[in-house]
Copies of this chain bind each other. A is one copy, B any other.
Amino acid sequence: MFELHSRLAADTLMVGEFELCQLLIHKDANYPWFILVPKRPKVTEVYHLSERDRMQLMKESCILSEALVDVFAPDKINIATLGNMVPQLHIHHVARYTTDVAWPNPIWGAMSAKDYPQTELEHRIESVASVLVGEDFQVS
């Protein structure tokens, strides 16, 4: 049975669910940072997914990327699946700006996490969720 890894659960809040993936927002206020987690147990690499799930992941990744562009108007989208610390397959989607604290470096390990003002975090969740509703996405 699928269960979200404890480290991901601790570092994020749930935004909602696509058909394949849970959508999480990282609690680090330095960047609009979202994470897709396929609801499949024991999967650690993209190629472990079935053919159908691989295609669905690509679809959900692109829907999310376009939503982040709509909501945040970033200069670049960074997408990565690393898993060196948390083995459960998860795919980072980060809206980057040439003015953000880590630019042009990758965000992982670049800066300590920064707390969100509570209202800003809720606002980001609602903004992204409202764009995604209608895209086979269920708000939590």
- Write the residues of chain A forming the contact surface with B, with a CB cutoff of 8 angstroms: 44-47, 54-55, 57-59, 61-62, 65-66, 69, 76-85, 87, 96, 103-106, 108-109
Label chain A's interface by main secondary structure: mixed
Docked pose: A69 CA to B121 CA in angstroms: 39
Residue contact B82 to A80, C-beta cutoff 8 Å: yes
* Closest residue of B by beta carbon distance from A103: B84
Residue contact B83 to A80, C-beta cutoff 8 Å: no
Docked pose: A61 CA to B109 CA in angstroms: 25
Docked pose: A109 CA to B105 CA in angstroms: 7
Docked pose: A103 CA to B83 CA in angstroms: 11
Whether A106 touches B80, Cβ cut-off 8 Å, given contacts A58-B54, A66-B47, is: yes
Whether A54 touches B62, Cβ cut-off 8 Å, given contacts A80-B106, A85-B104, A96-B84, is: yes
Residue contact A106 to B82, C-beta cutoff 8 Å: yes
Chain B residues, Cβ within 8 Å of A62 = 46-47, 54
Docked pose: A45 CA to B44 CA in angstroms: 24
